[in-house]
Structure formats: C-alpha cells, structure tokens
A = this chain, B = another copy of it.
Amino acid sequence: MALTVVGSIAFDSVKTPFGERDRMLGGAAVHFSLAASFFTEVRPVGPVGEDFGAEHFEVLEGRGVRVDDIERVPGGESFFWRGRYEYDLNVAHTEDTQLGVFGEFEPKLSAAAEAADTLFLANIQPDLQRQVRAQCGAARFSALDSMNLWIDTAKDSLLAAIAEVECVVLNDAEIRQLTGEPNLARAARALMEHGPRAVVAKQGEYGAALFTGDSFFALPGMPLEDVRDPTGAGDSFAGGFLGFLDGHDGELDEASLRRAMGYGTVLASFNVERFGTERVAALSRDEIEERFRQLHGMTQFEPLPVV
C-alpha cells in the first residue's frame, strides 16, 4: 500500500502559554506524513526553499517517509507561519504568513506518487487539489482538508473538489460555514450529497465525529493533562486516520473507518503534547497501540441487559 499527501511543508514560529519555538519544522504535509508513517509508506508532495536543509529531510526520512517528491526550489524560501495561542488552545492567532515557494506551487507528481492507493489533499487551493486528484487515478480512497479562506474565496472550486473525493476532513465550524447549515448533522449530510461517502468533523479538544451514509460515530479527545502546542493536530489526526486505512489489510468498511478514527485521535493527542513535530517524530508504534487501548477503555460501556 502507498499513501500520497500534497500540502504545505513549512517552518512555524509558535508561542503558547507553555513555551515557544522559532522556525520549527511544520506544515500540513509534514505533520500528516509523520503520523501516517507508523502505518504505511507515505510520500509528501510539495515545494520547499533553500532554507530547507538536510536536517529537516532527516526528520522525515528518520520515520521512513519517502521524500523524493519534495521539490527544493533554488533561491526560494519555504512557507512560513507565525502564530500564537492563548489558554484557549482551540483558537490560533495568525501573526504572519509568508507563502514563499508555495505561492507558485504547481504540483508535479512522480509516477510513484501518482500510483498511490490512498491520497490526502491537505489544505491547499481547491483547483490544485483537483489537479492532484486527477493525476492519482488509482487511489481507491482520497480525502481532503480545506480552510475558511477557500470557503470565502473559492467555494465553487472547493465543492467541485469535494465531489471528487471519498472523504472530507474538516473542522466542524468549517463544515457549518461551507454548507450554511448551523446544525452539524444536517451540514454533514449536505456535504455527502456532493459525493463523499464519509465526512469527518474535527472538534478540537472535544474529539472528532464521523458521518457515513445514515451512520454516526464519535470519539472524544484524549483527556490530556499536558497540552503545549496544538499546531498540526488536525493534520496528525488525518495522518493517523488515512495512514491506518491505507496500511490495514481489510475493507474500507464502517469498522475500519471507526478504528481509523481511533488512530487519528491517538496521533493528534501525541502531536499536541510537545511543540511542532517533537513528539510524533520520537514516537513508537507500541506507544500508539497503548494509547489506542486507553482510548478504547475510555469510550466503551456495557450494552443494556435485556429488559
């Protein structure tokens, strides 16, 4: 199995009440790739500048990520984001965004990237997402993320992109905004009418919900006592979710999707315990399985006895 992700590869400067970091490795495709790397072979596609050095490639290669489709642009600068969080870690305050080489990004996929069984279109301009989706014709399962910027400025393109994927992974507020429907259950059904068979609503510390057909499933976030930096949590969630789906042997049925939601939740929970990629890059599969078992124990209750 093989998983391709297209999205930002970036440097992030982040300040939270629990510390700060300057120009650490980040970006949606990075967080996603590290999380997915525990389950399958993952190949990020995206541009970086000359400021992206061997030490940054090594973080990815250290987790077995295939970096051949990361394009290093001569004379360019990598995407840069600076932001801060207050005690309400659900809200990011952006202080600076420098697109750098990402501003003229034209996705060029290698044959290996195009042959992926699973595809994740991280948050980039929706027409670029459609280009990549068209190139990855072999993918049996594709998913996309987006953001309020594209809902505001390129909604028709975004809806066209959504019509071409099997799964949407968005924050619950984005699902409401995109559909103009304040009720999340109705909003998710409305999105599925555009084509996807699954809608994942990310809900920050409250967890995540999965809508499929007439079915609904939800998991709480892990009750962490040490949360330092939420940057990348949503991408780590998507990486655990799609990484598990790509790597597992069975069908892409409801049981698999639910288990994948569990791995997404677990990877997101590790992500936020340290800054940037620090925790996930140093993680082990055993730690993931241990926390998956904890999550299972936190969500199960006995069925009713027959009355």
Q: Which residues of A contact B (CB under 8 A)?
A: 17, 87-88, 182-186, 188-189, 203, 205-207, 209, 211, 215-220, 223-225, 227, 255, 258-259, 261-262, 289, 292-293, 296, 298-304, 307
Please tell me if the beta carbons of A185 and B217 are within 8 angstroms of each other in the complex. no
Given known pairs A182-B88, A206-B206, A218-B207, the reply for A301 and B258 (CB within 8 Å) is yes
Q: How many copies of this chain?
A: 2
Nearest Cβ in chain B — how far from A250, in angstroms? 10
Please tell me if the beta carbons of B87 and A255 are within 8 angstroms of each other in the complex. no
Per the bound structure, the CA–CA distance linking A258 and B307 in Å amounts to 18
Please tell me if the beta carbons of A296 and B289 are within 8 angstroms of each other in the complex. no
Please tell me if the beta carbons of A262 and B301 are within 8 angstroms of each other in the complex. yes
- Residue in chain B with minimal CB distance to A221: B218
Per the bound structure, the CA–CA distance linking A8 and B302 in Å amounts to 34
- Residue in chain B with minimal CB distance to A254: B301
From B206, B216, B224, B298, give the contact of A203 (CB < 8 A).
Answer: B206
Please tell me if the beta carbons of A209 and B220 are within 8 angstroms of each other in the complex. yes
**Which of A87, A88, A183 gathers the greatest number of chain B CB atoms within 10 Å?**
A183
Top 10 nearest A-B pairs (CB, nearest first) are A218-B220, A258-B301, A87-B182, A206-B206, A185-B223, A216-B223, A185-B225, A216-B298, A186-B225, A255-B302
Told that A87-B182, A184-B223, A209-B220 touch, could you supply 10 new A-B pairs with CB distance under 8 A? A183-B227, A186-B225, A188-B223, A189-B225, A209-B223, A211-B223, A217-B299, A219-B220, A258-B301, A293-B304
Per the bound structure, the CA–CA distance linking A154 and B261 in Å amounts to 42
Please tell me if the beta carbons of A183 and B225 are within 8 angstroms of each other in the complex. yes
Per the bound structure, the CA–CA distance linking A218 and B182 in Å amounts to 24
Please tell me if the beta carbons of B301 and A261 are within 8 angstroms of each other in the complex. yes
Per the bound structure, the CA–CA distance linking A207 and B182 in Å amounts to 17
From B184, B207, B219, B301, give the contact of A259 (CB < 8 A).
Answer: B301
Per the bound structure, the CA–CA distance linking A206 and B298 in Å amounts to 16
**Which of A188, A301, A307 gathers the greatest number of chain B CB atoms within 10 Å?**
A301
Per the bound structure, the CA–CA distance linking A30 and B215 in Å amounts to 33
- Residue in chain B with minimal CB distance to A223: B185
* Chain B positions within 8 Å of A262 at CB level: 301
